[in-house]
Chain A
Amino acid sequence: DAGVTQSPTHLIKTRGQQVTLRCSPKSGHDTVSWYQQALGQGPQFIFQYYEEEERQRGNFPDRFSGHQFPNYSSELNVNALLLGDSALYLCASSRGPAGGVYQPQHFGDGTRLSIL
């Protein structure tokens, strides 16, 4: 039973470019959340997708957008990359939009994005 898988594992981009990160949720999960984790910091919530719609959003600019596909996989898109976008981007999946009290979010190992 595969857990949450993310691709690519590492990515290097330059300022102004655009990037797409991908996530496949754990089997049986239908909700995907994206987080940004700067070095030495806790994850910051970007947004959550359920039933192919954005259900919740954190304090991130519109440069950050996403999509969920019918098979529950998801993409995170970031436009006009800035140096400050360098971080580990984590995807987490769960059952149901609120995760559920006894349903912990399962995290992937993230995509390390470096902006030069």
Chain B
Amino acid sequence: KNQVEQSPQSLIILEGKNCTLQCNYTVSPFSNLRWYKQDTGRGPVSLTIMTFSENTKSNGRYTATLDADTKQSSLHITASQLSDSASYICVVSAGRDDKIIFGKGTRLHILP
């Protein structure tokens, strides 16, 4: 069964600190993996997209990694800011028709 599991479910860190969010998937055949940021009351916004051959992708202070062998991805946030408080959702696409499977997200809280 195609599944995307994210951990932790929620995370609280102090402003300025770094953090890493995890995503494990059991999706086949793998097409691509995306990380989205969703602010409260807003729609998700794409941060990164990675294919099978890519193992790292950066977008400002956000760096995503992908290990296609172990079917794991991580999103690292450097020097966190209050505006990073949001849900971060891992999304994996499978098959030629890009069937999309969403994780439940990690809720990140940045404290001043």
Q: Which residues of A contact B (CB under 8 A)?
A: 4, 33, 35, 40-45, 55-56, 90, 92, 97-99, 101-102, 104-110
Q: Which residues of B contact A (CB under 8 A)?
A: 31-32, 34, 36, 41-46, 49, 51, 89, 93, 96-100, 102-105, 107
Roughly how many angstroms separate A13 CA and B4 CA in the complex, as a whole number?
A: 32
Q: How far is the CB of A91 from chain B (nearest CB, A)?
A: 8
In the complex, the 3 A-B pairs of residues with the closest C-beta atoms, listed nearest first = A107-B43, A104-B46, A42-B102
Q: Which residues of B contact A35 (CB under 8 A)?
A: 102
Interface of B is mostly: strand
A-B contact pairs, 7 of them (CB 8 A): A35-B102, A42-B89, A43-B44, A98-B97, A99-B98, A101-B51, A106-B46
Q: Which residues of B contact A107 (CB under 8 A)?
A: 36, 43-45
Whether B32 and A101, one on each chain, are in contact in the complex, defined by CB atoms closer than 8 angstroms, is yes
Roughly how many angstroms separate A43 CA and B42 CA in the complex, as a whole number?
A: 12
Q: Which residues of A contact B44 (CB under 8 A)?
A: 43, 90, 107
